[in-house]
Structure formats: C-alpha cells, structure tokens
Amino acid sequence: MVKQIPNIITSLNLLCGCVAVLFAVSGDLVAAAVFVFLGIFFDFFDGFAARLLKTQSEVGLQFDSLADSITSGLAPGIVMVQLLSKSLTGEYFAITQVFSSNGANNSIYLLLPLIGLLIVVASGYRLAKFNVDTRQTDSFIGLPTPANALLILSFALILELQPANWSDAIILNRWFLIGMTLLSCVLLNAEIRLFALKFKTWDMRSNARRYIFLVFCLVSSVLLKFLAIPLIITVYILMSLVWRERSKA
C-alpha cells in the first residue's frame, strides 16, 4: 500500500484536472483555475513522495505525465478557448453555436477560438519529450507545463477577480490571446534551459537564484495579486537565461 501512495497523489492530480476541464467547458474559469492549482499542488508532492518512499517507477513517471496532460494541458487549453471566444463574440464558447449558426463564414468565425487547443497539443508533445529526455534531471528544457498553465489561467483570474479597464482591454484583445497561445506553444518546446525549484541542499551559495526567485514570488504576489503571475513567469525565464550566461563566463 505504501508503494501506491505516490500513484494515489497522482490520481488526485488527474481528478482535479478532470473537474477543472468540466468547469472550463461550462465557462466557470475561476473554479477551473482553483482545481488546476490543486492539481499542480498534488503534482509537486507525488514526485516528492516517490523520492521520500523510494518508490520511483517507470509507470509512475508515465502516469504523472498523463495526469499533467489533463491538468496542465487540456484544462488551460480550454480556458484559452473560452477567453478567445469571449474576445471574439462576447460569450463563452459553445460548440452547439457553431452547428446552429447560419452561414459558413459565421461558422468559421465561431470556430476561431479553437486555436486555443494548440496549447493542449504543445503541452502533450512537451510532456512526451520530457519522459525520454535525460537532460532534464536537474533543470528543465522549455517551460514546464504547470508554469504555462498558471500563465494562461492568470488571464482568466485577472479578468474575473481583478478587473481593470486597462488589463481587461489587453486580455480581451483577440490578437493578444492568439499571440500568447502561439508564444506558450513555443516556450513549452523551446531549447532553453530553465532552473528547477529542487533543493538538494539548503545552503545559500548553491541555491541563491532559487531563494531570490521565491522571495520575488512572495513579494510580487502580495503586492500585485494575480497580476504577479505573468510577471513571475517572465522573471523566471529571464533569471534562467541570465544565470546560464553568467555560468558560462
């Protein structure tokens, strides 16, 4: 039974992802975000539990990626579909509208939000590469799917819970959303090395950037709330690139 604890935690991640998908499809993006956050929480601890209990296995690795493909791939992809639909039509997406609409051109226009599903494809491909890439033991190559999911979901949370004229105008701009969809697909699979928040020791010297980043996350979250999430992801990428250049020097 002890050996199954990591798989049980992974199952909770998968279940949270499924519930998040249901909420996202129905247009309740805040609830969808809550369950994605819960799923990411369980995703962090299943690996920790496996290492602690020394029960790592190939099945556990594959199961973890399958759960992530739902929680951090499908759910944020549908959230982007909903955001694109709202930016284009003023309403959340419903596939029935496409088939009940009059005129082929109108149907094509209503299908444009499905561009958001590219995030699902890019996330699935990124997870498949991760499982066979031996270079990603101590760091990541490309943006991790949970980080990308947080980025996408932050737009919905800002729109629903932290509205402002300027941020609403940006988030509901169709070109911004299409651009963010394509950018996230690129970042997920880009050949850029990003540091992982894994502490092998607790000393300051070897973990300086991790401590600095965590302090920045805490301060910015308190000051900016959900607006901090896109900033945190941006700083995470920039810090990884800067530290890499410094290590080469």
Query: pLDDT digits over 51-82, tens only?
Result: 777 777 788 788 999 999 999 999 999 999 99
Q: What beta strand segments (E) does the chain contain?
A: 139-141, 193-195
| pTM, 2 dp | 0.91
CATH number at residue 118: 1.20.120
pLDDT at 249 over 50: no
Q: Which domain holds residue 75?
A: 2-195
Please report whether residue 141 resides in a domain: yes
Please report whether residue 164 resides in a domain: yes
Q: How far is CA 29 from CA 43, 154, 158, 246, in A?
A: 20, 10, 11, 40
Pick the more confident residue, 211 or 97. Answer: 211
Indicate the number of domains in the chain: 1
Q: What is the DSSP letter of 162?
A: S
Please report whether residue 118 resides in a domain: yes
Please report whether residue 205 resides in a domain: no
Residue type, 226: F
Please report whether residue 222 resides in a domain: no
Please report whether residue 204 resides in a domain: no
Burial class (CB in 10 A: 0-12, 13-18, 19+), 245: exposed
Distance CA 238, CA 212 (A): 13
Q: How far is CA 238 from CA 153, 204, 246, in A?
A: 21, 20, 12
